[in-house]
Amino acid sequence: MATAEDGAELKLGRPKPGRWTLHYRPARQAIEIASRGRPSVIPVKSRLLVEADERTDVVVTYPLNTTATSPSFLEPKYDTLRTITFDQFGLAGAALEEDELRELFQRLPSGFVKDPFFGLGLNFDIRHIAKTVEEISGVVDLCLRRGRSTNLPTVKGGSYVVSARQFDDLRKAINRIHNKALNVATDEKWMVTHNSLLSTIDSTKFPVKNRTYRRDAIREAVGASVVRGTALSKSDQKIVFEATVSAARTIQRTQPESLLKLSREIEIVTLEELAERLRKMLARKLNEGAWQSFFTDNPFVLRLAFGHPIMMIGGQISVGGRKFSGAGDKISDFVIKAAASGNLGLIEIKTPDTLLIEKTPYRGDLHAPSRELTGAVNQILDQRHHLQKSIPALKDNSGAWDVQSYAIQGLVIAGRIPEGAALLKSFELFRNALKSVTIITFDELGHKLEHLLEVLGTSNAMPDEKLDGTDAK
Protein backbone atom coordinates (compact mmCIF):
# COMPACT_ATOMS: atom_id res chain seq x y z
CA MET A 1 0.00 0.00 0.00
CA ALA A 2 3.04 2.32 -0.23
CA THR A 3 3.54 3.01 -3.97
CA ALA A 4 1.98 5.30 -6.56
CA GLU A 5 0.15 2.32 -8.07
CA ASP A 6 -1.58 1.87 -4.70
CA GLY A 7 -2.58 5.52 -4.63
CA ALA A 8 0.28 7.03 -2.61
CA GLU A 9 1.52 10.44 -3.74
CA LEU A 10 4.77 12.43 -3.76
CA LYS A 11 4.35 16.19 -3.72
CA LEU A 12 7.23 18.40 -4.91
CA GLY A 13 7.29 21.91 -3.45
CA ARG A 14 9.47 25.02 -3.81
CA PRO A 15 9.11 27.10 -0.65
CA LYS A 16 11.96 29.46 -1.59
CA PRO A 17 14.15 30.10 -4.65
CA GLY A 18 16.92 27.51 -4.81
CA ARG A 19 15.17 25.21 -2.31
CA TRP A 20 12.76 22.36 -2.83
CA THR A 21 10.90 19.88 -0.66
CA LEU A 22 9.26 16.52 -1.14
CA HIS A 23 6.25 15.32 0.86
CA TYR A 24 4.73 11.86 1.02
CA ARG A 25 0.99 11.31 1.19
CA PRO A 26 -0.15 7.71 1.86
CA ALA A 27 -2.78 5.89 -0.15
CA ARG A 28 -6.35 5.99 1.19
CA GLN A 29 -6.42 2.20 1.56
CA ALA A 30 -3.15 2.30 3.54
CA ILE A 31 -4.72 4.77 5.96
CA GLU A 32 -7.75 2.54 6.35
CA ILE A 33 -5.55 -0.46 7.13
CA ALA A 34 -3.48 1.51 9.64
CA SER A 35 -6.58 3.01 11.26
CA ARG A 36 -7.93 -0.42 12.21
CA GLY A 37 -5.29 -0.71 14.86
CA ARG A 38 -4.59 2.99 15.34
CA PRO A 39 -7.68 5.19 15.13
CA SER A 40 -5.50 8.24 15.83
CA VAL A 41 -3.82 8.11 12.38
CA ILE A 42 -4.55 11.39 10.58
CA PRO A 43 -5.56 10.50 6.99
CA VAL A 44 -5.12 13.85 5.29
CA LYS A 45 -1.77 15.14 6.54
CA SER A 46 1.25 14.47 4.34
CA ARG A 47 4.72 13.86 5.76
CA LEU A 48 7.94 15.74 4.92
CA LEU A 49 10.39 13.36 3.23
CA VAL A 50 13.14 15.55 1.71
CA GLU A 51 14.51 19.10 1.94
CA ALA A 52 17.12 20.28 -0.57
CA ASP A 53 19.22 23.41 -1.00
CA GLU A 54 20.53 23.83 -4.54
CA ARG A 55 23.05 26.53 -3.56
CA THR A 56 24.83 24.50 -0.85
CA ASP A 57 24.21 21.11 -2.51
CA VAL A 58 22.81 19.68 0.73
CA VAL A 59 19.93 17.20 0.72
CA VAL A 60 18.27 16.32 4.04
CA THR A 61 16.05 13.25 4.11
CA TYR A 62 13.51 12.33 6.80
CA PRO A 63 13.33 8.52 6.77
CA LEU A 64 9.69 7.53 7.13
CA ASN A 65 7.87 4.30 7.89
CA THR A 66 5.40 3.79 5.01
CA THR A 67 4.28 0.26 5.93
CA ALA A 68 0.56 0.46 6.66
CA THR A 69 0.51 -2.62 8.91
CA SER A 70 3.31 -1.31 11.14
CA PRO A 71 2.42 0.17 14.57
CA SER A 72 4.72 3.09 13.71
CA PHE A 73 3.10 3.89 10.33
CA LEU A 74 3.93 7.44 9.15
CA GLU A 75 6.43 7.86 12.04
CA PRO A 76 10.22 8.23 11.79
CA LYS A 77 12.03 4.99 10.95
CA TYR A 78 14.46 5.29 13.87
CA ASP A 79 14.22 5.86 17.61
CA THR A 80 16.07 9.18 17.94
CA LEU A 81 17.72 9.64 14.54
CA ARG A 82 15.46 11.95 12.55
CA THR A 83 17.41 12.88 9.41
CA ILE A 84 20.05 11.57 7.05
CA THR A 85 21.93 14.33 5.20
CA PHE A 86 23.85 14.06 1.92
CA ASP A 87 26.43 16.84 1.61
CA GLN A 88 28.08 17.63 -1.75
CA PHE A 89 26.67 14.64 -3.64
CA GLY A 90 25.19 16.71 -6.51
CA LEU A 91 21.68 15.63 -5.54
CA ALA A 92 20.06 19.01 -4.88
CA GLY A 93 19.52 19.48 -8.65
CA ALA A 94 17.82 22.43 -10.28
CA ALA A 95 14.30 22.90 -11.59
CA LEU A 96 13.37 19.30 -10.82
CA GLU A 97 10.10 17.92 -12.07
CA GLU A 98 8.18 15.14 -10.32
CA ASP A 99 8.91 12.62 -13.05
CA GLU A 100 12.66 13.16 -12.50
CA LEU A 101 12.58 12.24 -8.82
CA ARG A 102 13.03 8.48 -9.30
CA GLU A 103 16.16 9.07 -11.38
CA LEU A 104 17.48 11.47 -8.73
CA PHE A 105 17.13 8.99 -5.87
CA GLN A 106 18.83 6.27 -7.87
CA ARG A 107 21.97 8.35 -7.48
CA LEU A 108 21.97 7.90 -3.71
CA PRO A 109 25.05 6.04 -2.40
CA SER A 110 24.90 2.26 -2.02
CA GLY A 111 23.31 1.16 1.23
CA PHE A 112 20.31 3.48 1.09
CA VAL A 113 16.68 2.94 0.13
CA LYS A 114 16.36 4.60 -3.27
CA ASP A 115 12.59 4.58 -3.62
CA PRO A 116 10.91 7.53 -1.83
CA PHE A 117 7.63 5.61 -1.68
CA PHE A 118 9.35 3.27 0.80
CA GLY A 119 10.47 6.11 3.04
CA LEU A 120 14.19 6.34 2.14
CA GLY A 121 16.74 5.72 4.93
CA LEU A 122 19.25 2.90 5.37
CA ASN A 123 18.85 -0.54 3.88
CA PHE A 124 17.66 -3.03 6.47
CA ASP A 125 20.87 -5.08 6.44
CA ILE A 126 22.94 -2.12 7.67
CA ARG A 127 20.39 -0.78 10.17
CA HIS A 128 23.04 -1.32 12.85
CA ILE A 129 24.68 1.91 11.71
CA ALA A 130 21.65 3.95 12.76
CA LYS A 131 21.29 2.03 16.04
CA THR A 132 24.95 2.61 16.86
CA VAL A 133 24.90 6.35 16.09
CA GLU A 134 21.82 6.69 18.30
CA GLU A 135 23.90 5.63 21.30
CA ILE A 136 25.43 9.14 21.27
CA SER A 137 23.18 11.42 23.26
CA GLY A 138 21.83 14.40 21.32
CA VAL A 139 22.66 13.09 17.84
CA VAL A 140 19.59 13.32 15.58
CA ASP A 141 21.26 13.47 12.16
CA LEU A 142 23.58 11.18 10.21
CA CYS A 143 25.51 13.28 7.69
CA LEU A 144 27.44 11.78 4.76
CA ARG A 145 30.01 14.16 3.34
CA ARG A 146 31.56 13.60 -0.04
CA GLY A 147 35.22 14.44 -0.53
CA ARG A 148 38.12 14.48 1.93
CA SER A 149 37.73 12.55 5.18
CA THR A 150 40.17 14.63 7.26
CA ASN A 151 39.09 14.77 10.93
CA LEU A 152 36.13 12.49 10.20
CA PRO A 153 34.06 10.93 11.62
CA THR A 154 33.08 13.56 14.15
CA VAL A 155 30.08 14.83 16.07
CA LYS A 156 29.13 18.40 15.24
CA GLY A 157 26.11 19.78 17.00
CA GLY A 158 23.37 17.20 16.61
CA SER A 159 25.00 15.59 13.56
CA TYR A 160 27.26 12.57 13.31
CA VAL A 161 29.41 13.43 10.28
CA VAL A 162 31.17 10.67 8.32
CA SER A 163 32.82 10.67 4.91
CA ALA A 164 31.24 8.79 2.03
CA ARG A 165 34.31 6.54 1.77
CA GLN A 166 34.26 5.69 5.48
CA PHE A 167 30.58 4.88 5.28
CA ASP A 168 31.04 2.71 2.21
CA ASP A 169 33.93 0.79 3.84
CA LEU A 170 31.73 0.12 6.87
CA ARG A 171 28.81 -0.94 4.68
CA LYS A 172 31.00 -3.40 2.79
CA ALA A 173 32.45 -4.79 6.02
CA ILE A 174 28.95 -5.41 7.40
CA ASN A 175 27.89 -7.09 4.16
CA ARG A 176 30.98 -9.33 4.19
CA ILE A 177 30.17 -10.44 7.72
CA HIS A 178 26.55 -11.05 6.75
CA ASN A 179 27.47 -13.08 3.66
CA LYS A 180 30.00 -15.20 5.55
CA ALA A 181 27.42 -15.91 8.22
CA LEU A 182 24.95 -16.99 5.54
CA ASN A 183 27.53 -19.32 3.98
CA VAL A 184 28.33 -20.88 7.34
CA ALA A 185 24.63 -21.28 8.12
CA THR A 186 24.02 -22.91 4.74
CA ASP A 187 26.86 -25.40 5.25
CA GLU A 188 25.63 -26.26 8.74
CA LYS A 189 22.09 -26.80 7.47
CA TRP A 190 23.39 -29.30 4.89
CA MET A 191 25.52 -30.99 7.57
CA VAL A 192 22.66 -31.33 10.05
CA THR A 193 20.29 -32.57 7.35
CA HIS A 194 22.83 -35.14 6.10
CA ASN A 195 23.56 -36.45 9.60
CA SER A 196 19.90 -36.59 10.61
CA LEU A 197 18.49 -38.18 7.45
CA LEU A 198 21.33 -40.21 5.93
CA SER A 199 23.91 -41.05 8.62
CA THR A 200 21.21 -42.39 10.92
CA ILE A 201 20.19 -44.85 8.19
CA ASP A 202 23.63 -46.02 7.06
CA SER A 203 26.65 -44.42 8.75
CA THR A 204 29.04 -46.50 6.61
CA LYS A 205 27.67 -45.32 3.30
CA PHE A 206 26.88 -41.86 4.66
CA PRO A 207 29.52 -41.03 7.28
CA VAL A 208 28.70 -38.36 9.81
CA LYS A 209 29.84 -34.95 8.59
CA ASN A 210 31.59 -32.46 10.85
CA ARG A 211 32.02 -28.76 10.47
CA THR A 212 34.67 -27.93 7.90
CA TYR A 213 37.54 -25.80 9.15
CA ARG A 214 37.55 -22.40 7.52
CA ARG A 215 40.74 -20.42 7.21
CA ASP A 216 40.95 -17.68 9.86
CA ALA A 217 37.69 -18.90 11.38
CA ILE A 218 39.01 -18.64 14.94
CA ARG A 219 40.32 -15.11 14.42
CA GLU A 220 37.03 -14.01 12.87
CA ALA A 221 34.90 -15.69 15.54
CA VAL A 222 36.90 -14.59 18.56
CA GLY A 223 38.86 -11.55 17.40
CA ALA A 224 40.31 -9.66 20.34
CA SER A 225 37.35 -10.34 22.61
CA VAL A 226 39.06 -13.03 24.68
CA VAL A 227 41.39 -11.21 27.03
CA ARG A 228 43.02 -12.03 30.32
CA GLY A 229 40.34 -12.89 32.86
CA THR A 230 37.70 -13.94 30.33
CA ALA A 231 35.81 -16.95 31.72
CA LEU A 232 35.51 -19.46 28.88
CA SER A 233 32.95 -22.24 29.08
CA LYS A 234 34.21 -25.77 29.65
CA SER A 235 33.49 -26.74 26.06
CA ASP A 236 35.36 -23.67 24.76
CA GLN A 237 38.28 -24.44 27.07
CA LYS A 238 38.44 -27.97 25.68
CA ILE A 239 38.36 -26.78 22.06
CA VAL A 240 41.06 -24.16 22.68
CA PHE A 241 43.27 -26.73 24.39
CA GLU A 242 42.82 -29.38 21.70
CA ALA A 243 43.36 -26.86 18.90
CA THR A 244 46.55 -25.60 20.55
CA VAL A 245 47.92 -29.10 21.04
CA SER A 246 47.05 -30.02 17.47
CA ALA A 247 48.73 -26.93 16.03
CA ALA A 248 51.75 -26.86 18.36
CA ARG A 249 54.26 -28.34 15.91
CA THR A 250 53.10 -26.08 13.09
CA ILE A 251 53.28 -23.03 15.34
CA GLN A 252 56.79 -24.04 16.41
CA ARG A 253 57.91 -23.97 12.77
CA THR A 254 56.08 -20.84 11.66
CA GLN A 255 55.83 -18.71 14.81
CA PRO A 256 58.24 -20.06 17.44
CA GLU A 257 58.13 -16.79 19.37
CA SER A 258 54.35 -17.16 19.79
CA LEU A 259 54.75 -20.67 21.19
CA LEU A 260 57.39 -19.45 23.63
CA LYS A 261 55.08 -16.65 24.70
CA LEU A 262 52.25 -19.14 25.22
CA SER A 263 54.53 -21.45 27.21
CA ARG A 264 55.64 -18.58 29.40
CA GLU A 265 52.04 -17.44 29.96
CA ILE A 266 51.03 -20.97 30.98
CA GLU A 267 53.94 -21.13 33.40
CA ILE A 268 52.97 -17.81 34.94
CA VAL A 269 49.31 -18.77 35.31
CA THR A 270 50.27 -22.14 36.81
CA LEU A 271 52.64 -20.53 39.29
CA GLU A 272 50.07 -17.90 40.25
CA GLU A 273 47.50 -20.60 40.95
CA LEU A 274 50.08 -22.64 42.87
CA ALA A 275 51.14 -19.67 45.00
CA GLU A 276 47.51 -18.83 45.72
CA ARG A 277 46.77 -22.41 46.78
CA LEU A 278 49.85 -22.46 49.04
CA ARG A 279 48.78 -19.20 50.65
CA LYS A 280 45.29 -20.52 51.39
CA MET A 281 46.66 -23.74 52.85
CA LEU A 282 49.06 -21.81 55.10
CA ALA A 283 46.09 -19.93 56.51
CA ARG A 284 44.60 -23.21 57.77
CA LYS A 285 45.85 -25.76 60.29
CA LEU A 286 46.37 -28.83 58.12
CA ASN A 287 47.95 -32.15 59.08
CA GLU A 288 50.96 -33.82 57.47
CA GLY A 289 48.75 -35.93 55.23
CA ALA A 290 47.24 -32.83 53.62
CA TRP A 291 50.69 -31.38 52.94
CA GLN A 292 52.00 -34.65 51.57
CA SER A 293 49.05 -34.70 49.17
CA PHE A 294 49.84 -31.10 48.14
CA PHE A 295 53.46 -31.95 47.34
CA THR A 296 52.43 -35.16 45.58
CA ASP A 297 50.11 -33.16 43.31
CA ASN A 298 52.67 -30.37 42.86
CA PRO A 299 56.17 -31.90 42.81
CA PHE A 300 57.40 -28.70 41.17
CA VAL A 301 57.36 -27.02 44.61
CA LEU A 302 59.74 -29.66 45.96
CA ARG A 303 62.10 -29.07 43.04
CA LEU A 304 62.38 -25.43 44.10
CA ALA A 305 64.04 -26.56 47.34
CA PHE A 306 67.05 -28.00 45.51
CA GLY A 307 69.78 -26.11 43.73
CA HIS A 308 69.88 -28.57 40.83
CA PRO A 309 67.34 -30.39 38.63
CA ILE A 310 65.73 -33.38 40.32
CA MET A 311 63.26 -36.10 39.36
CA MET A 312 60.60 -37.48 41.68
CA ILE A 313 60.78 -41.22 42.32
CA GLY A 314 57.71 -41.35 44.53
CA GLY A 315 56.09 -40.79 47.91
CA GLN A 316 55.92 -43.03 50.99
CA ILE A 317 58.84 -45.11 49.72
CA SER A 318 60.43 -47.92 51.73
CA VAL A 319 64.16 -47.29 52.15
CA GLY A 320 65.00 -50.47 54.12
CA GLY A 321 65.11 -51.54 57.76
CA ARG A 322 62.59 -54.39 57.54
CA LYS A 323 62.96 -57.09 60.20
CA PHE A 324 62.29 -60.81 59.84
CA SER A 325 58.93 -60.19 61.47
CA GLY A 326 58.01 -57.86 58.63
CA ALA A 327 58.02 -54.81 60.87
CA GLY A 328 60.51 -51.96 61.03
CA ASP A 329 60.24 -50.58 57.48
CA LYS A 330 61.70 -47.10 57.17
CA ILE A 331 59.34 -45.00 55.07
CA SER A 332 60.42 -41.74 53.51
CA ASP A 333 57.78 -39.15 52.66
CA PHE A 334 59.43 -38.57 49.27
CA VAL A 335 62.43 -39.98 47.44
CA ILE A 336 64.05 -38.00 44.63
CA LYS A 337 67.09 -38.34 42.42
CA ALA A 338 69.37 -35.82 40.80
CA ALA A 339 68.50 -35.60 37.10
CA ALA A 340 72.14 -35.61 35.96
CA SER A 341 73.81 -38.09 38.31
CA GLY A 342 70.97 -40.17 39.73
CA ASN A 343 72.15 -39.40 43.27
CA LEU A 344 69.30 -40.04 45.71
CA GLY A 345 67.69 -37.62 48.12
CA LEU A 346 65.15 -38.03 50.95
CA ILE A 347 62.44 -35.54 51.92
CA GLU A 348 60.61 -35.41 55.25
CA ILE A 349 57.43 -33.33 55.44
CA LYS A 350 56.15 -31.79 58.66
CA THR A 351 53.56 -29.01 59.03
CA PRO A 352 53.85 -25.19 59.08
CA ASP A 353 52.89 -25.33 62.79
CA THR A 354 55.92 -27.44 63.67
CA LEU A 355 57.95 -25.72 66.40
CA LEU A 356 61.52 -25.16 65.15
CA ILE A 357 63.23 -23.46 68.08
CA GLU A 358 62.45 -23.76 71.79
CA LYS A 359 60.87 -20.61 73.19
CA THR A 360 62.84 -20.78 76.47
CA PRO A 361 66.49 -19.73 76.06
CA TYR A 362 69.07 -22.44 76.61
CA ARG A 363 71.71 -19.94 77.71
CA GLY A 364 71.79 -16.20 77.15
CA ASP A 365 70.19 -15.42 73.79
CA LEU A 366 70.72 -18.93 72.45
CA HIS A 367 67.79 -21.27 71.97
CA ALA A 368 67.94 -25.02 71.38
CA PRO A 369 66.33 -26.65 68.35
CA SER A 370 62.96 -28.17 69.16
CA ARG A 371 62.40 -31.86 69.76
CA GLU A 372 60.22 -31.98 66.61
CA LEU A 373 62.99 -30.52 64.45
CA THR A 374 65.84 -32.63 65.79
CA GLY A 375 63.59 -35.68 65.56
CA ALA A 376 62.89 -34.95 61.89
CA VAL A 377 66.60 -34.51 61.17
CA ASN A 378 67.47 -37.77 62.92
CA GLN A 379 64.63 -39.51 61.11
CA ILE A 380 66.17 -38.49 57.76
CA LEU A 381 69.63 -39.59 58.93
CA ASP A 382 68.24 -42.96 60.00
CA GLN A 383 66.50 -43.41 56.65
CA ARG A 384 69.75 -42.46 54.91
CA HIS A 385 71.67 -45.02 56.95
CA HIS A 386 69.28 -47.85 56.08
CA LEU A 387 69.02 -46.79 52.42
CA GLN A 388 72.79 -46.91 51.99
CA LYS A 389 72.87 -50.45 53.40
CA SER A 390 69.89 -51.63 51.36
CA ILE A 391 70.58 -49.87 48.06
CA PRO A 392 72.00 -52.92 46.18
CA ALA A 393 68.96 -55.06 46.99
CA LEU A 394 66.52 -52.22 46.33
CA LYS A 395 68.06 -51.51 42.92
CA ASP A 396 68.04 -55.19 42.03
CA ASN A 397 64.47 -55.81 43.19
CA SER A 398 63.13 -52.60 41.61
CA GLY A 399 65.17 -52.69 38.40
CA ALA A 400 66.16 -49.10 39.08
CA TRP A 401 69.76 -49.21 37.91
CA ASP A 402 70.05 -45.47 37.27
CA VAL A 403 69.93 -44.42 40.95
CA GLN A 404 73.05 -43.90 43.05
CA SER A 405 73.83 -43.43 46.75
CA TYR A 406 77.04 -41.44 46.43
CA ALA A 407 76.03 -38.87 49.03
CA ILE A 408 72.35 -39.11 49.89
CA GLN A 409 70.96 -35.67 50.64
CA GLY A 410 68.15 -35.04 53.12
CA LEU A 411 65.54 -32.29 53.14
CA VAL A 412 63.20 -31.38 55.97
CA ILE A 413 60.28 -29.06 55.18
CA ALA A 414 58.83 -27.79 58.43
CA GLY A 415 57.58 -24.77 60.34
CA ARG A 416 57.72 -21.05 59.65
CA ILE A 417 60.60 -18.58 59.88
CA PRO A 418 61.13 -17.86 63.62
CA GLU A 419 60.23 -14.35 64.74
CA GLY A 420 62.72 -12.36 66.75
CA ALA A 421 66.47 -11.92 66.35
CA ALA A 422 67.49 -14.44 69.03
CA LEU A 423 65.21 -17.23 67.70
CA LEU A 424 66.21 -16.53 64.09
CA LYS A 425 69.92 -16.54 64.98
CA SER A 426 69.62 -19.84 66.85
CA PHE A 427 67.70 -21.41 63.95
CA GLU A 428 70.28 -20.33 61.36
CA LEU A 429 73.19 -21.49 63.50
CA PHE A 430 71.64 -24.93 63.84
CA ARG A 431 70.52 -25.59 60.28
CA ASN A 432 73.67 -24.22 58.65
CA ALA A 433 75.82 -26.48 60.82
CA LEU A 434 74.14 -29.58 59.38
CA LYS A 435 76.19 -31.40 56.77
CA SER A 436 73.85 -33.60 54.77
CA VAL A 437 70.37 -32.41 55.80
CA THR A 438 68.83 -29.14 54.61
CA ILE A 439 66.01 -27.49 56.53
CA ILE A 440 63.61 -25.21 54.65
CA THR A 441 60.47 -23.57 56.01
CA PHE A 442 57.08 -23.29 54.30
CA ASP A 443 57.59 -19.51 54.15
CA GLU A 444 60.77 -19.95 52.16
CA LEU A 445 59.05 -22.21 49.65
CA GLY A 446 56.46 -19.46 49.21
CA HIS A 447 59.20 -16.87 48.70
CA LYS A 448 60.82 -19.07 46.04
CA LEU A 449 57.51 -19.20 44.15
CA GLU A 450 57.18 -15.41 44.38
CA HIS A 451 60.72 -14.85 43.17
CA LEU A 452 60.20 -17.13 40.20
CA LEU A 453 57.04 -15.23 39.27
CA GLU A 454 58.97 -11.96 39.43
CA VAL A 455 61.71 -13.40 37.20
CA LEU A 456 59.11 -14.45 34.65
CA GLY A 457 57.94 -10.86 34.61
CA THR A 458 54.32 -11.24 35.69
CA SER A 459 52.58 -8.18 37.02
CA ASN A 460 50.70 -10.39 39.48
CA ALA A 461 53.75 -11.54 41.41
CA MET A 462 52.09 -10.53 44.66
CA PRO A 463 54.72 -7.94 45.68
CA ASP A 464 52.50 -6.41 48.35
CA GLU A 465 51.28 -9.54 50.08
CA LYS A 466 53.78 -12.22 51.01
CA LEU A 467 52.92 -15.80 51.77
CA ASP A 468 54.05 -15.43 55.34
CA GLY A 469 51.57 -12.59 55.89
CA THR A 470 54.24 -9.87 56.26
CA ASP A 471 54.42 -6.70 54.19
CA ALA A 472 56.83 -6.49 51.28
CA LYS A 473 59.85 -4.31 51.83
Which residues in 203-231 are b (16+ Cβ under 10 Å) and which e?
eeeeeebeeeeeeeeeeeeeeeeeeeeee
pLDDT value for 194? 93
Which of 14-28, 157-171, 328-342 is most confident?
157-171
Contact present, 247 and 218 (Cβ < 8 Å):
no
Q: What is the DSSP letter of 363?
A: B
Pairing of strands 19-25, 310-318: unpaired
Opening angle at CA 400, ends 396 and 402, nearest 5: 120
Residue 445: Cβ within 10 Å count = 21
Task: Outline where 305-441 has alpha helix (H).
Answer: 371-398, 421-433
pLDDT value for 470? 47
Span 121-146, pLDDT tens digits: 999 999 999 999 999 999 999 999 99
286-440: CATH number: 3.40.1350
Contact present, 446 and 461 (Cβ < 8 Å):
no
Mean pLDDT of 89-113: 82
Q: Domain ranges for the chain, please list them.
A: 4-173, 286-440
Could you give the CA distance from residue 297 to residue 288 in angstroms, rounded to a whole number? 14
pLDDT value for 247? 65
pLDDT value for 252? 64
Least trusted range by pLDDT, from 106-115, 192-201, 235-244, 344-353? 235-244
Mean of pLDDT over the chain: 80
pLDDT value for 175? 92
Pairing of strands 159-163, 141-145: parallel
Mean pLDDT of 153-163: 95
Mean pLDDT of 325-348: 71
Question: In sequence order, what DSSP letters do the residues of 231-274 get, joined into one string?
Answer: ---HHHHHHHHHHHHHHHHHHHHH-HHHHHHHHHHHHHHHHHHH
Q: What is the DSSP letter of 470?
A: P
Span 363-417, pLDDT tens digits: 888 999 999 999 999 988 888 888 877 777 776 666 667 777 777 888 898 999 9
In the chain, the amino acid numbered 177 is I
Residue 316: Cβ within 10 Å count = 11
- pLDDT at residue 326 above 60? no
Q: What is the DSSP letter of 274?
A: H
pLDDT value for 358? 92
DSSP H or E segment with residue 90:
none
List the strands of the sheet with 310-318, edge to edge.
Answer: 310-318, 331-338, 343-349, 404-413, 437-440
- pLDDT at residue 275 above 50? yes
Of the two residues 345 and 257, the one the predictor is more confident about is: 345
Span 442-467, pLDDT tens digits: 888 888 877 777 766 644 434 444 44
Q: Measuring CA to CA, how many Å separate 351 from each of 380, 443, 445?
A: 16, 11, 13
Residue among 300, 282, 306 nearest 470 (CA) = 282
pLDDT value for 315? 65
